[in-house]
Structure 1
Amino acid sequence: MKLVVFGLTISSSWGNGHATLWRGLVGALAKRGWTVVFCEKDVPYYAMNRDLWEIPGGDLILYDDFEDFRGVFRSHLEDADVAMVTSYCPDGLAASDLVLEAARPLKVFYDLDTPVTLSRLGDGGAASYVGPRGFRDFDLVLSYTGGPALQALRDRLGARRAVPLYGHVDPGQYRPAGRDPVFAGDLSFIGTYAADRQDRLTALLIEPAQRRPDLRFVIAGAQYPADFPWTDNIYFLRHLAPEAHPAFYASSRLTLNVTRRAMAQSGWCPSGRLFEAAASGAAILTDWWDGLDAFFAPGREILVGHDTGDALAALAMSDAELRRIAEAARARVLAEHTSDARAADFERAVAEARHPLPARRPQTEEA
C-alpha cells in the first residue's frame, strides 16, 4: 500500500506538534508494509531546525515551489492507494485540488488542528487549508479531535465520513531514560509559547515557582517573548530535539501539560506530549478538558490541575506516590496509545471508507 501525504512538516520538530506524530505513524505504517511519500514545503524556519532527512521505507520530498513539482506529485498519485492533505499544509488548497483530481487513491483530509479550524471558520474567518467546498469532496476526514467536533466537521464542513485519529507515541523512541542534571527540576514543561494558554501556564507553573523559590522549574520550547515572567528558579531551554525529550521528561519529579485554548474548549483532543511523557516514565500534571478521563484515569494515571493550589499539592506528593502514577500512565499508553495502535486505527478507517457499511433502513413501528 502506498500513502502520499501533503503536510506541514515531518522533517523538523521545531515549533510544531506535527512532526513527531508523523514520524511515529510513518514508522508504524512501514512495519505494516506501507510506503509513505511525504511532500513538505521547504520553508526557511524548518530548514534551519531540521532534525530528520529521510523516512523509513518511504520518500521525503522537500519542494520550494508547488508548481515546479506538480509533475512529480502527479506521478506519485498515479499509483497511490491513499492520498492525504493535512491541516496547515502551506499549499493545502493546491494540494487538495491535485489529490481530488487523481483517479486511483482514496482521498483523505487529516485535520490535526480541528478545534482551531472550526474556531476560525466559526468566527467568519478562514483557514488557509480549507477551500470553499469544505471537506465535501474527500472520501474520509480524519480528525485529531474526537467527541462533538466530529459532528461539526460533518455539519459545517460537509465531511461525508469523519472519524478520530488521535495522538500517539512511538515507544521505541520514548521510553524511560536516566536523569540528566541539565534538565533536572521539580516541574518541567515542554511546548512552544502560545498566548492562549498563558493563563493556565501561569497558574500551574509560574505562580508555583513564585511561591516555592526553593524548587526548580524548567521550560523548553520556542518563540517565548522577551517579556515572559521569568523567575530566578525557572530555567529555559530554547529547543530540544525529539531524541532529548525522554531524558527531559524523566529528569523532573513532575512534567506539565497545558492545552491550547481551542483544544481545551473542544475537548477530546489529547496532546501527543501527554503520551510521550507517559511513555518516558514521567508523572504528569495536566489541565482539565472534556474527554481526558477516556485516555487516562485522573488521580491514578494522571494528576489534574485546576489552579495553583492543585499544582502545589502535586509538588508536595512523595516520590513514591508520583512513581506509582507514572508507572500506571506508562502501562496505559503502551496498551492503547502507541503509534502501532494508531496505524491499525488508520488502516481500519481506510478500509471502512473504501467499503462503507450499507445504509440502515429506518425502523418503522409494528402494527
Structure 2
Amino acid sequence: MKIAFYGSSLLSSYWNGAATYYRGLLRALAARGFDITFYEPDVYDRQKHRDIDPPDWCKVVVYDGTLDALKAVAARACEADVVVKASGVGFEDDALLAHVLAAARPEAIKIFWDVDAPATLAELRAHPDHPLRRSLGRIDLVLTYGGGDPVVRAYRSIGAAECVPIYNALDPETHHPVPRDERFDGDLAFLGNRLPDREARVEAFFLEPAARLPGQRFLLGGAGWGDKPMSPNVTYIGHVSTRDHNAFNVTPKAVLNISRESMAQNGFSPATRVFEAAGAAACLITDAWVGLDIFLKEGEEVLVARDGKDVADLLAALTPERGRQIGERARQRVLREHTYAHRAAEVDRILHAYAGRAMSEVAR
C-alpha cells in the first residue's frame, strides 16, 4: 500500500515539534510493508538545520516554498493508495489540502492528520467557513496526535466521518539510555520552543521554580528564548538537535514536560517529550493533565506538578537514586505498551479496514 504524506518536515526538527512523531510512526509503518513518500516544503530554514539524512525506509521529496511547486507535488497524490495531509505544514496549508484532495484517486483513502487538534478545533469553531471544515465531507478519516474522546466528539460534531487518536509513542531505536553529557548537567532541564500558548506555562512551571531554588541549576533548551528574562541559575542553550535529546534527558537529575495551554486544557495529549524522556530512563516531572494515567503512573513512573510550587517541592525532595528508579519504571512501561510499533499496528488495522470498505464500494 502506497502512502503519500504531506507534512511539515521529516528531515528537520527545527521549529517543527512533530518531527519525532512523524519519524517514529512512519518508520514503524514502513517496517509493516507500507511504501511511503513524504513531501515537505523548504521553508523556515528547516533544510539548513536537518537532524537526519533522508532515510532508507521513506522517500522524501523537498519542494520549494512556491505555489507552483506545491501544485506539482500535490498532483502526485494520484499515485498513492493513502493520501495524508497533516496539519501545520507551514506553507499554504489550505491550498495544499485543496490540491491534494483534488488529485487523489476516488478510491484512495483520504486522511487529515492533525498534530495539534485542540488548537485546530479552536480555529474551526472560530471560523465556521474555514476551508478545512468545508473539506471534511471529502475526507475519509481524521487521525490526531492525541486528544482522546473530547477531540473525537468535537471532530464528529463538525462533520468528520470518523476521528481516531494515534498517540505519541517511543521509538526505542532512537530514544534510549546513553552516557551522561556534561553539556547538559543540572538539576532540572526543559526543552521546548517559545510559542504563544506555551510561554506563560513555562514561566509558571520552569522559570518561577528556578527563582525559588537559587541553589539548583536549571537548563533551558529550544528556539526563541534568547531575550527572555530568567534567573542567574538558568542556562539557556538554544536549539537542541534531536541527536542530542537522549543525552539532554539522561544527564540532569530530572527533566520537565510542560504542555501547551490548549493541550493541557483538553487533556489526553502526551507530548513527544514524555516518551523520549521515558525511553531514555529519565526522571520526568510533568504538568498535570487529564489522561496521564493511561500512559504513566503518578508517583511511580512520573512525577506530577499542579503548579510551579509543586515543581520546586518535587525537585527539592528528589534524590538521584529515586530519580533513576522512576526513570527505569517509566522506560519499562513504555516499552511494554507505548512504542511506535504499537501505534503502527493500530494504523495498519485502520487502513486495511478502510481499504476493504473502499474496494467493496468500487465493486458495487
> How far 1:195 sits from its partner (Å)?
3.4
> How far 1:312 sits from its partner (Å)?
2.2
Please, which runs of 5 or more residues in structure 2 have no aligned partner?
359-364
Are 2:295 and 1:295 aligned?
yes
> How far 1:51 sits from its partner (Å)?
2.2
Q: Deviations for 1:30-65, whole angstroms, at most 9, x for unmatched residues?
A: 211112111111114212222234132331111113
Tell me which amino acid in the other structure corresponds to 2:207. Answer: I
Taking the TM superposition and a 5 Å limit, the aligned residue runs for 1:69-148 are: 70-71=71-72, 73-74=74-75, 76-89=76-89, 90-101=91-102, 102-103=104-105, 104-124=107-127, 130-145=131-146, 146-148=148-150
**TM superposition outliers: structure 1 runs of 4+ over 6 Å:** none
Tell me which amino acid in the other structure corresponds to 2:291. Answer: G
Identify if the C-alpha distance between structure 1 residues 231 and 296 changes in structure 2 by more than 3 Å, giving closer, same or farther. same
Whether the 8 Å contact between 2:197 and 2:261 is mirrored in structure 1 is: yes
Mapped to 2, the partners of 1:210 and 1:14 lie a distance apart of 29
Mapped to 2, the partners of 1:95 and 1:311 lie a distance apart of 42
Tell me which amino acid in the other structure corresponds to 1:164. Answer: P
Partner of 1:213: 214
Mapped to 2, the partners of 1:126 and 1:259 lie a distance apart of 29
When structure 1 is superposed on structure 2, of 106-115 and 336-345 the one drifting more is 336-345
Mapped to 2, the partners of 1:100 and 1:199 lie a distance apart of 38
Please, which runs of 5 or more residues in structure 1 have no aligned partner?
358-367
Mapped to 2, the partners of 1:217 and 1:44 lie a distance apart of 29
Mapped to 1, the partners of 2:153 and 2:323 lie a distance apart of 38
Identify if the C-alpha distance between structure 1 residues 314 and 356 changes in structure 2 by more than 3 Å, giving closer, same or farther. farther
Whether the 8 Å contact between 2:177 and 2:280 is mirrored in structure 1 is: yes
Tell me which amino acid in the other structure corresponds to 1:232. Answer: P
Tell me which amino acid in the other structure corresponds to 2:253. Answer: R
| Greater fraction of residues in helix | 2
Mapped to 1, the partners of 2:135 and 2:153 lie a distance apart of 14
Q: TM-score, normalised by structure 2?
A: 0.91
> How far 1:10 sits from its partner (Å)?
1.2
Alpha-carbon RMSD: 2.0
Partner of 1:246: 246
When structure 1 is superposed on structure 2, of 32-41 and 76-85 the one drifting more is 76-85
Identify if the C-alpha distance between structure 1 residues 4 and 312 changes in structure 2 by more than 3 Å, giving closer, same or farther. same
Identify if the C-alpha distance between structure 1 residues 181 and 55 changes in structure 2 by more than 3 Å, giving closer, same or farther. same
Q: Deviations for 1:256-313, whole angstroms, at most 9, x for unmatched residues?
A: 0000001111111110110001101101111111111111111111111112332122
Partner of 1:362: none
Identify if the C-alpha distance between structure 1 residues 132 and 327 changes in structure 2 by more than 3 Å, giving closer, same or farther. closer
When structure 1 is superposed on structure 2, of 301-310 and 203-212 the one drifting more is 203-212
Identify if the C-alpha distance between structure 1 residues 356 and 268 changes in structure 2 by more than 3 Å, giving closer, same or farther. farther
User: Matched residue of 2:138: which SS?
Assistant: coil
User: Matched residue of 1:147: which SS?
Assistant: helix
Tell me which amino acid in the other structure corresponds to 2:48. Answer: M
Mapped to 2, the partners of 1:308 and 1:62 lie a distance apart of 42
Identical residues among aligned pairs (%): 37
Mapped to 1, the partners of 2:70 and 2:112 lie a distance apart of 21
In the comparison of the two structures, how many residue pairs are matched?
Answer: 352
Identify if the C-alpha distance between structure 1 residues 72 and 143 changes in structure 2 by more than 3 Å, giving closer, same or farther. closer
Partner of 1:256: 256
Whether the 8 Å contact between 2:268 and 2:292 is mirrored in structure 1 is: yes
Q: TM-score, normalised by structure 1?
A: 0.90
Tell me which amino acid in the other structure corresponds to 2:234. Answer: I
Mapped to 1, the partners of 2:339 and 2:56 lie a distance apart of 17
Mapped to 1, the partners of 2:212 and 2:70 lie a distance apart of 55
Mapped to 1, the partners of 2:210 and 2:77 lie a distance apart of 52
> How far 1:255 sits from its partner (Å)?
0.3
Tell me which amino acid in the other structure corresponds to 2:353. Answer: E
